Amino acid sequence: MSTLIIFDSLFGSTALAARTLAKILLSEAILKKIDDVNSEDVYNNQNLVLLTPTHAGRASVKMQNFIKSLPSAVWREKSVAVLSTGIPPIGQSLWLRLVIKILGYAAAPTLAFMVKRGAKIMAPPLNLMVAGKQGPLLEGELNQLETWADNFKNNI
């Protein structure tokens, strides 16, 4: 069964994670940028993985708008997972560390939004760290993604 991977990326880090995930899943993956996804893509795929940058603890505006644009009923039939990218609190100013601690990263609230509408969780949310707003992914983050993806493949 194929998995639709939907991603949004501003500076390329989330896109790199999405492409890496698609390579790991091989023929089981359909990779689409959020701008190229329509509601039929979601209706036609049982398994969905969303990748989004984190902005103030939430998914990108494009990702949020897309998810909210779909009828709630569509999620009752889906198995979903969410990955996000964001800056780590270590090395940030006290203010930014506090903001990150309070708001967190986009993966968990985005997944929770879909679960409240009936989606099943295929894998736990994953937050990949980037070296500043424009990235790149920190060293070791693609290894963490590979480990997550291996576990994900067992649930497909």
For the residues 104-126, what does the mean pLDDT come to? 96
Q: If DSSP codes are grouped into helix, strand and coil, which group holds residue 84?
A: strand
Which CATH number belongs to the domain containing residue 119 in this structure?
Answer: 3.40.50.360
- pLDDT interval class at 153 (50, 70, 90): confident
Q: What is the mean pLDDT of residues 71-83?
A: 92
Using a cut of 0.85, tell me whether the model's pTM lies above it. yes
152 has a pLDDT exceeding 90: no
155: pLDDT confidence band, cut at 50, 70 and 90?
confident
User: In which domain, by residue range, is 104 found?
Assistant: 3-155
Residues 123, 81: contact at Cβ < 8 Å?
yes
Question: Would you say how long the chain is, in residues?
Answer: 156
* 136 cis-preceded (ω within 30 degrees of 0): yes
To 5 degrees, how large is the angle CA 86–CA 37–CA 7?
15
pLDDT band at 151 (very low <50, low <70, confident <90, very high): confident
Which pLDDT score, from 0 to 100, does residue 150 have?
87
Q: Is the pLDDT of residue 154 over 90?
A: no
Domains contained in the chain, number = 1
